[in-house]
Copies of this chain bind each other. A is one copy, B any other.
Amino acid sequence: MKPTDDPTVTDPDLYRVVFENDRVRVLEYFDEPGAQTHPHDHPDSVMITLSAFRRRVSLGGEQRDLELPAAQARWVGAQRHSGHNTGETPTHVFFVELKHSTQNPSGTTVLGPS
């Protein structure tokens, strides 16, 4: 298994761990317009939006544009991507990461929330 790129390591100024136990790790993400993350991996997670935002998530040649309001919950299946704040407002979200993840066993590409 290849090592995963933890977003708290690839982008420590944007991601921080706010809680962790044996079942979950909770990350808080906050950025300003124009910010971009390095490629990183997410396990199966629930994303809760605390702000509205517009972003582009991409991996290799694939990309997906997202626009979400505040106060939304979205499933983020295990995936690798980088993100770009393409809007005019900060992005503020929490990720509730599930441990013992299936790590996308189907092998299909998952990009962004469901």
Contact = CB atoms under 8 A, between A and B. Distances in A.
Within the oligomer, what is the number of copies of this chain?
2
A21 B75 contact: yes
Contact of A75 (B19, B70, B75, B92): B19
Interface stretch (A4-12, A22-30, A52-60, A79-87): A22-30
Interface residues of A, number: 21
A35 interface: no
A90 to B, nearest CB: 12
A24 B50 contact: no
A20 to B, nearest CB: 9
B71 A26 contact: no
Contact of A46 (B50, B72, B96): B96
B98 A24 contact: yes
A48 B94 contact: yes
Q: Specify which of A24, A50, A74, A92 lies most central, judged by the most chain B CB atoms within 10 Å of its CB.
A: A24
Interface of A: 18-19, 21, 23-24, 26, 28, 44, 46, 48, 50, 70-75, 92, 94, 96, 98
